[in-house]
């Protein structure tokens, strides 16, 4: 049977202390277990260090509480994203960081083309602020059970398992709803949560209030109105009431050529190649925006090319390997354009 999360144990103690005091008996432990959605046996096993006799517990045993608090601190740190030395702030990053640092519940919707760093920017904002982040990758199948949680059968027993939303609420973490425009109306269970009101777990009869610092950030390729041009197949028209609960919308563009050069320059010491790649991508994007082509080179695609170059050591081989995903006509036009930009490009992509 899975153990309760360490943060749940802190919440359990608070519930018992507020309602029954610190020196308690079996009835208080049973009530606490029911309140938290765990079996009595599971809670008893976790509270063994606090046991003072048969059917008696003392929640103030200092050594045990210190151990629990130390474990909780380690558990919290594990959900703070790692800082990436290659990250370069741009666009709305400064504003996003201010919002998350304010501690105010302020849901944010970030929309933009694929591969322009929407998710990465949220992760790095949390890393710099030392804030916990719980990321949920949304699909059309995502429902209330996936988000809020539910009972799971473990060793013949039904045990409540918190979903990512409840974990984020209880911990005061940032909840990242990634690719939210892929969702169906099954995510409308988040309505009250997007109002900052917490959620009532009807299956356990427990109300979970948001801890200080909790907020929600959603990323999407569209604004929740579907994809008219067919570029983002699978995206859906989201409920207007759901979208209206996001206080602010950031429109994230690709980095400027100067910023993109900094990003790639942190990965590659071939400055000339970096410059050529950035110029190449900029021309393609301008042509795309003018309606001249139907495909685009994202920042993520440029990072893929740099990594391929570090592996193969050849510019054209790296580029060709990473643009093979496009149709033949587009691929050939991209390769031809790069050859015109770079005078030092290899004449062949064959292995030596």
pLDDT digits (tens, 9 = 90+) for 259-273: 999 999 999 999 999
Give this prediction's pTM: 0.78
The reported pLDDT for the residue numbered 229 is 67
- Average pLDDT, rounded, for the chain: 88
d(CA 278, CA 269): 14
DSSP string, 189-201: GGTTGGGT--EEE
185 and 231, same domain (yes or no): yes
Domain co-membership, 269 together with 239? no
Does residue 124 fall inside a structural domain? yes
Which pair of tokens denotes residue 101? Answer: 């640092």
The answer on 239 and 282 residing in a single domain is no
* Same domain as 196, residue 182: yes
210 shares its domain with 137: yes
Q: Is residue 53 part of a domain?
A: yes
215 and 286 share one domain? no
Quick one: pLDDT at residue 5?
Answer: 52
Domain interval for residue 59: 6-77
Give residue-wise pLDDT tens across range 85-129: 999 999 999 999 999 999 999 999 999 999 999 999 999 999 999
Task: Look at the chain and report how many structural domains it folds into.
Answer: 3
Give the pLDDT score at 3.
Answer: 43
For residue 108, give the nearest of 245, 285, 234 by alpha carbon. 245
Tell me, yes or no, whether 350 lies in a domain.
no
The domain boundary, picked from 77, 112, 133, lies at: 77
**171 and 292 within one domain:** no
CATH number of 16's domain: 1.10.238
In a domain, 187, yes or no: yes
Is residue 241 in a domain?
yes
User: Which of 252, 283, 298 is the endpoint of a domain?
Assistant: 252
Residue 199 above 50 pLDDT?
A: yes
For 129, 133, 165, 182, 262, the CA distances from 177, given in Å and listed in that order, are: 19, 11, 10, 10, 28
Q: Based on the domain organization, do 106 and 246 belong to the same domain?
A: yes
- Choose the weakest-confidence range: 22-26, 37-41, 61-65, 245-249: 61-65
Residues 307, 237, single domain; the answer is no
Q: Does residue 21 sit within a domain?
A: yes
Q: Give me the DSSP letters along 243-306.
A: HHT--EEEEEPPPPHHHHHHHHHTT-S-HHHHHHHHHHHHHHHHHHHTTS-S----HHHHHHHH
Model pLDDT, residue 335: 96
Residues 245 and 263 reside in one and the same domain? no
As beta bridge partners, residue 157 has 154
Shared domain for 263 and 232, answered yes or no, is: no
- For residues 341 and 345, give the distance between their C-alpha atoms in angstroms, rounded to a whole number: 9
Nearest to 105 by CA among 10, 219, 198: 198
Angle, CA 54 vertex, CA 21 and CA 34 arms, to 5°: 55
Same-domain pairing of 292 and 326:
yes
Structure confidence by residue, pLDDT tens digits, 13-43: 878 888 898 899 999 988 888 877 777 887 8
pLDDT over threshold 60, residue 134: yes
Whole-angstrom Cα distance, residue 85 to residue 219? 23
Q: Distance (Å, rounded) from C-alpha 168 to C-alpha 107?
A: 14
What whole-number distance in Å separates Cα of residue 200 and Cα of residue 167? 14
Position 287 in a domain: yes
Q: What is the mean pLDDT of residues 332-336?
A: 96
Do the beta carbons of residue 255 and residue 263 sit within 8 Å? yes
């Amino acid at each position: 049977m899975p153990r309760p999360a360490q943060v749940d144990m802190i919440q359990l103690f608070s519930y018992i202390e507020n309602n029954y005091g610190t020196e308690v008996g079996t009835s208080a432990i049973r009530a606490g277990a029911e309140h938290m959605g765990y079996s009595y046996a599971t809670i008893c096993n976790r509270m063994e260090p606090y046991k003072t006799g048969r059917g008696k517990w003392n929640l103030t045993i200092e050594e045990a509480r210190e151990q629990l608090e130390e474990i909780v601190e380690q558990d919290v740190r594990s959900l703070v994203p790692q800082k990436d030395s290659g990250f370069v702030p741009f666009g709305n990053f400064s504003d996003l960081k201010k919002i998350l640092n304010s501690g105010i519940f302020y849901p944010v919707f970030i929309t933009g083309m694929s591969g322009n760093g929407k998710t990465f920017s949220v992760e790095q904002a949390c890393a710099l602020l030392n804030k916990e982040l719980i990321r949920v990758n949304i699909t059309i199948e995502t429902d209330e059970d996936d988000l809020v949680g539910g009972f799971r059968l473990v060793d013949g027993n039904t045990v409540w398992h918190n979903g990512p939303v409840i974990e984020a609420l209880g911990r005061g973490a940032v909840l990242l709803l990634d690719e939210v425009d892929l969702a169906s109306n099954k995510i409308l269970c988040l309505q009250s949560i997007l109002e900052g009101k917490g959620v009532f777990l009807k299956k356990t009869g427990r109300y979970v209030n948001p801890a200080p610092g909790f907020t929600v950030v959603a990323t999407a390729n569209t604004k929740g109105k579907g994809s008219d041009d067919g570029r983002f197949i699978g995206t859906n028209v989201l409920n207007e009431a759901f979208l209206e609960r996001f206080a602010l919308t950031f429109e994230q563009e690709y980095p400027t050529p100067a910023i993109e050069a900094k990003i790639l320059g942190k990965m590659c010491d071939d400055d000339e190649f970096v410059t050529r790649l950035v110029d190449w991508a900029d021309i393609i994007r301008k042509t795309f925006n003018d309606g001249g082509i139907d495909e685009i080179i994202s920042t993520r695609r440029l990072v893929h090319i740099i990594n391929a170059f570090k592996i193969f050591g050849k510019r054209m081989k790296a580029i060709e390997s990473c643009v093979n995903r496009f149709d033949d006509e587009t691929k050939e036009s991209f390769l031809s354009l790069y050859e015109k930009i770079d005078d030092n490009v290899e004449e062949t992509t064959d292995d030596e």
